[in-house]
Chain A
């Protein structure tokens, strides 16, 4: 006995698979994206450290630039942590799936 309603869904799945594969090849992989984001955060952290050290060493006297650099680094780090949490949540949701 054929269930026609479900058969129609399979057609859609087949059609969408082709599209998805194409997209994945074109775009950046998720791993690369995460690594890029981490590199960006690391650069901001390094900049913050450098500005703080320069300030302590007396190379410049802009208190606000020290604070702003550390804020930038903190916000970026928080953003990456948020993305990581979302990914882990999704992973755990899938692992909890009944098979």
Chain B
């Protein structure tokens, strides 16, 4: 439906930013985690966004006669792991220390995560603002001729 297209686009972005926020929380929560199921320290995760494809059915439908396609929002292509090296800390009392007393700590930078968190929050806000703007445009249209 044409009227709610911008709503759906904003909704997809809101979901995407929420998932990004989840991943950032996971990174912050595991900033000191030295063991995972793989046996390695925790690896920082990031979210990969991708433009959402226009569904094939759209080209078959009546709406496809419109000249311009506005797209259908964003989707999460996947969650990728940061392959940068682990931080090495000398702490012989740590149970996960090797024979030289070196502990491999996760490659999570708390400062980076905080900045990303601000970015995600602001992006979420921006999408809510876009949604509210399209809502007030729709409501303004209903005031025509009043």
Q: Is B14 an interface position by the 8 A CB rule? A: yes
CB-CB under 8 A from B128, the residues of chain A are 64
Please determine whether B7 and A64 come into contact, CB atoms closer than 8 angstroms. no
Please determine whether A82 and B142 come into contact, CB atoms closer than 8 angstroms. yes
On whether A78 and B142 interact (CB within 8 A), knowing A68-B131, A71-B135, the answer reads: yes
Specify the main secondary structure of chain A where it touches its partner.
Answer: helix
CB-CB under 8 A from A82, the residues of chain B are 142
Give, as a whole number of angstroms, the nearest-CB distance from A51 to chain B: 11
CB-CB under 8 A from B135, the residues of chain A are 71, 75
Q: Is B4 an interface position by the 8 A CB rule? A: yes
Interface size, A (range): 10 to 19
Q: Is B11 an interface position by the 8 A CB rule? A: yes
- CA distance in complex: A68, B135 (Å): 10
CB-CB under 8 A from B145, the residues of chain A are 86
Specify the main secondary structure of chain B where it touches its partner.
Answer: helix
Q: Is B15 an interface position by the 8 A CB rule? A: yes
CB-CB under 8 A from B60, the residues of chain A are none
On whether A68 and B7 interact (CB within 8 A), knowing A62-B15, A62-B18, the answer reads: yes
**CB nearest to B11 among chain A residues:** A68
Q: Is B110 an interface position by the 8 A CB rule? A: no
Indicate with 1 or 0, residue by residue over B57-88, a CB within 8 angstroms of chain A CB atoms: 00000000000000000000000000000000
A binding-site residues for B, Cβ under 8 Å: 62, 64-65, 68, 71-72, 75, 78-79, 82, 86
Pick 23 A–B contacts, CB within 8 A, sort by A.
A62-B15, A62-B18, A64-B11, A64-B14, A64-B15, A65-B11, A65-B15, A68-B7, A68-B10, A68-B11, A68-B131, A71-B7, A72-B4, A72-B7, A75-B3, A75-B135, A75-B138, A75-B139, A78-B139, A78-B142, A79-B142, A82-B142, A86-B145
